[in-house]
Structure 1
Amino acid sequence: MNSSTDTGTILRAKDILRKPFTAEFLRYVIPGILVGIITGLVVGTFRWIIDQTLILLTIVYPYLGSHPLMIIPYILGTLIVVWLIAKIIRPELFDVVGSGVPQIEAILIGKHQMNWWSVLWRKFVSGLLTICPGLFLGREGPCIQIGACIGQGFAEDVYHYQDTEERDLLIKCGIAAGLSAAFSAPIAGTVFLLEEVTRHFNFKVIAGALAAAISADLMTILFFGTKPCLAMPISARLPLSSYPWLILVGIVIGAGGYLFQYGMLNLGWWYRKFTILPNYYHSILPLLLVIPVGLWNCHILGGSHNFIMYITRMSLKANWLLVLGMLILFFVLRYTGTMIAAGATVPGGIFMPIFVLGSVLGAIAGIILIHFGIVPASCYLNLIAMGMAAYFGATEGTPISAILLVTEMGGSVDQILPMTILTFIAYFTSMTLGSKNSIYEALRMEMLNRV
């Protein structure tokens, strides 16, 4: 018999439920929404400028190709951009360079502090000056740091939080909002925060971060509409007979993920040998080298979701060896260009460059498997999407975020099982070879050791 009946007391709903509007999570959701709204508007503007500039490059470079003398003023303009970047980043060099994620993680573990307003505007302006000319860097790192700056600004100057935990909560909300706004992916933005930054589930953080991520994504709709930012019309299904081949493809992609981490963690050592100019002028190297690449093929420039869509439209009816050779060349150029840009003391993220490299590896696997009759040609897009998720999971050390990001960006949940299998195999391979479980943790260790 129920004990409450024995004592003559029967609990009712009003005895168990809270009074309306007294839930503690409202204290975190409302500030999260405000952080998300502002972050969405700022990041939406940042994204829009980059997108329009990269479209402009597809007009500028063909013009330069047909008017070679105009390359001279273009180079002079590039040198002015180098000077501007140096002037902007030098006062906040540690915080502004790179993606910003390792710096934010250092703040959250109590090993660093940041002047949020100074970093915010410098990251915004210098990020545009770096990414818009077509460097192989992504928008998402700056977007995450911009969101974190806005979160810290709300904590310190709006709510006047004295408690570090409350300040950190709004920074975390800004991280989720920044990634959500960068890719129109609120679920992935929240999960990335949990998988990469906090590494544990906390209802207070989840409630605030998800509110911020949703609010930020709603703001980006004002700029870009409701269409996924990397919409892929995946309609075919990978045949079951091809699943065993995912093991081999996953191993190759995982090895590529280890190669990316190895390169990234050697950049500081390599660039230390480039002593001709102070490090805040190192942007001159990638900004000049990107010009001949643009003259050869302007579609390869940028972070860049445009290049991924370019890969999806490659003809499968052409000579397969010719297409395969071109894809391998793309991979070598993108990998080398990403390393040169990421090490050059400039702001910029590595998410999109990783996705691009993964899409190329997926396309290479697709061309080979289609040629040998292992998968039908209709599965080409499947393998590109799966390659993106697998390479990201292997490189970043965040397989769950990888799957969710590609799913939300692509706007399709079809074939999520083979994507999960491939991502796990690639992640397992990369970790087995010696990759750090988090590339940002490794970069943070390297950066703090340099200071």
Structure 2
Amino acid sequence: MGKLSVTEILHKPFTSRNLLYVFKGILVGLITGVVVSVFRLIIDKTMKGLYFVYPYMVNHPKTIILYVIATIILCIILGFIIRPQLFYVKGSGVPQIEAVMDDQLEMHWWAVLWRKFVGGLLAICPGLFLGREGPCIQMGACIGQGLSEEVFHGDKQDRNVMLACGIAAGLSAAFSAPVAGALFLVEEITLGFASATVWLAALAAAVASDLVTLLFFGLTPSLHFIYDYSVPVKDYWQLIILGIILGLFGNLYQRVILSLPKWYGKLKIIPKAWHSIVPLLLVIPIGLYYVKILGGSHDFILDLTSPHFINYLSGHMPTSNGHMTTIGGHMSAIIFVALLLLIRFVFSMISYGASTPGGIFMPILVLGATSGALYASIMIHAGLLAKGYFLNIVIYAMAAYFGAIEKAPFTAVVLISEMVGSIKHMMPLLVVTLIAYVINDWLGGRPIYAALKDEMMSSLDNPRKKAELSGLRD
């Protein structure tokens, strides 16, 4: 055989289908970006409103009764909205999307899309410890499926590509993190590198959705930190200990969250669609105690890492009105952070298990940040860590805890880098995240969404019930 010419080696011009899917991905990304940006904006504005409402109730206790009544009415409305599609709308929605892509379920995109949007707002805005990113991912997937079925009239393969685009676009828009959105698709959904067509389309969707969010929220990263100190190599033993702790804590998280359906299943007196009454009422005393702990919550992380908290291990502690009141000594600060960690962990589980629409991304990051703050506070108090590294430890812990639970270390490191707006400290991020991942893997941990999907599918008693779920119509 003679030597091939350049023309014979390369593909023929204008024959690639990649450009068509890039166009489809951009379309999915643009629409998802608008929907998610509005979703984010409403949540952000409502949370700011809670920072006024709860201090007002503290000063006017009689208004708490009115708030409780309003909460019960909201729960009733939420239940009626989500009940027709409860199986598909509850939780983050990511396990449901995985099941759809694996041909285990059929989802009616419009019925899920609007219910996820409205139901997600009704669950997250009152301050439940739920993240916006799960609903954003599912809404993006619904948009991708809708375009495939209603506009392009594609086959099942085309639908799955469009679903992938929606997944990447949804996460990208939720955190303004396009690279993490595309990586999440690989590590959590496809569990490997898909074809170039899928990658290009998903990346195009992620970039397009991020461009839309930039118009809504500007260029500032969603968790913008400035941390210039670098942990010296001689102190890397601290990162090993931190990684081990977070790996153990991550395995505990997986075991507890997978047990929630069994525990909530014992609450037979209340129909599943209205289980949200439990966290919606319990969140009120938490908000009265410390309002900034409510929600996902970006503001809580920013409060936890604020200069007045870092200074002397926060010789002051937040109260319900958002100000700081003096508490005695470093140990009191440590106890306070431990209490916050316990509240965040327990109520994150109560919120997610109650058949409510909401995600676990941000709650996981908050738990990681609080765990890092507690570890750093203890080490600084013991004289084993300089105060200047407090912020570093918090950021490393966010990535490691997320990476261990999601079993997605690349996504974790890139996501935190994009959210924080810095790639200066990549090495310690990788060290802590890798150790936490290995520890959870050694203890039998799995990618959390795959595990949640298996638990969800096991709840289908028989083929008839599965067929009924697949046949739900709006």
TM-score by length of 1: 0.96
> Where do 1:76-91 residues align within 5 Å?
76-91=69-84
1:316: which partner in 2?
311
1:434: which partner in 2?
444
2:275: which partner in 1?
282
In the TM superposition, what is the alpha-carbon distance from 1:395 to its structure 2 partner?
A: 1.1
Instruction: Verify: 1:360 aligned to 2:370, yes or no.
Output: yes
In the TM superposition, what is the alpha-carbon distance from 1:398 to its structure 2 partner?
A: 1.1
In the TM superposition, what is the alpha-carbon distance from 1:245 to its structure 2 partner?
A: 2.0
Instruction: Verify: 1:187 aligned to 2:179, yes or no.
Output: yes
Instruction: Verify: 1:238 aligned to 2:231, yes or no.
Output: yes
The question of whether the paired residues in 1 share the 8 Å contact of 2:368 and 2:401 is answered with yes
1:169: which partner in 2?
161
Deviation per residue, 1:116-136 (Å, 9 max, x gap): 001000000000000000000
> Where do 1:17-416 residues align within 5 Å?
17-18=10-11, 21-161=14-154, 163-201=155-193, 202-313=195-306, 314-317=309-312, 318=315, 319-416=329-426
1:447 to 415, 440, 456: 456
Q: Which runs of 5+ in 1 are unaligned?
A: 5-9
Partner SS state of residue 233, structure 1: coil
In the TM superposition, what is the alpha-carbon distance from 1:394 to its structure 2 partner?
A: 1.1
The question of whether the paired residues in 1 share the 8 Å contact of 2:29 and 2:207 is answered with yes
Cα distance in 2 for residues equivalent to 1:113 and 1:62: 45
Cα distance in 2 for residues equivalent to 1:159 and 1:428: 43
Cα distance in 2 for residues equivalent to 1:285 and 1:134: 13
Cα distance in 2 for residues equivalent to 1:370 and 1:296: 27
In the TM superposition, what is the alpha-carbon distance from 1:28 to its structure 2 partner?
A: 1.1
Cα distance in 2 for residues equivalent to 1:196 and 1:18: 32
Cα distance in 2 for residues equivalent to 1:134 and 1:434: 33
Cα distance in 1 for residues equivalent to 2:292 and 2:363: 14
AA at the equivalent of 1:446: E
Segment drifting more, 103-112 vs 268-277? 268-277
Partner SS state of residue 417, structure 2: helix
Cα distance in 1 for residues equivalent to 2:169 and 2:208: 8
The question of whether the paired residues in 1 share the 8 Å contact of 2:417 and 2:423 is answered with yes
The question of whether the paired residues in 2 share the 8 Å contact of 1:239 and 1:375 is answered with no
1:7: which partner in 2?
none
Q: Which runs of 5+ in 2 are unaligned?
A: 316-328, 461-474
What is the aligned residue count? 442
In the TM superposition, what is the alpha-carbon distance from 1:19 to its structure 2 partner?
A: 5.7
AA at the equivalent of 1:176: A
In the TM superposition, what is the alpha-carbon distance from 1:18 to its structure 2 partner?
A: 4.8
Cα distance in 2 for residues equivalent to 1:320 and 1:21: 67
AA at the equivalent of 1:381: L
Runs of 4+ aligned structure 1 residues displaced above 6 Å come to none
Segment drifting more, 282-291 vs 358-367? 358-367
Deviation per residue, 1:86-125 (Å, 9 max, x gap): 0100000100000000000000001001110010000000
Deviation per residue, 1:194-213 (Å, 9 max, x gap): 11100121211110000000
1:11 to 5, 26, 34: 5
In the TM superposition, what is the alpha-carbon distance from 1:21 to its structure 2 partner?
A: 4.4
Segment drifting more, 350-359 vs 267-276? 267-276
Partner SS state of residue 379, structure 1: helix
AA at the equivalent of 2:34: L
Cα distance in 2 for residues equivalent to 1:86 and 1:416: 44
The question of whether the paired residues in 2 share the 8 Å contact of 1:41 and 1:219 is answered with yes
Deviation per residue, 1:265-295 (Å, 9 max, x gap): 1101100111121111100000000000000
In the TM superposition, what is the alpha-carbon distance from 1:375 to its structure 2 partner?
A: 3.1
AA at the equivalent of 1:37: L
TM-score by length of 2: 0.91
The question of whether the paired residues in 2 share the 8 Å contact of 1:36 and 1:215 is answered with yes
AA at the equivalent of 1:46: F
Cα distance in 1 for residues equivalent to 2:388 and 2:141: 41
AA at the equivalent of 1:150: I
2:465: which partner in 1?
none
Deviation per residue, 1:275-328 (Å, 9 max, x gap): 121111100000000000000000100001111111101243223212211110
In the TM superposition, what is the alpha-carbon distance from 1:23 to its structure 2 partner?
A: 3.1
AA at the equivalent of 2:131: G
2:322: which partner in 1?
none
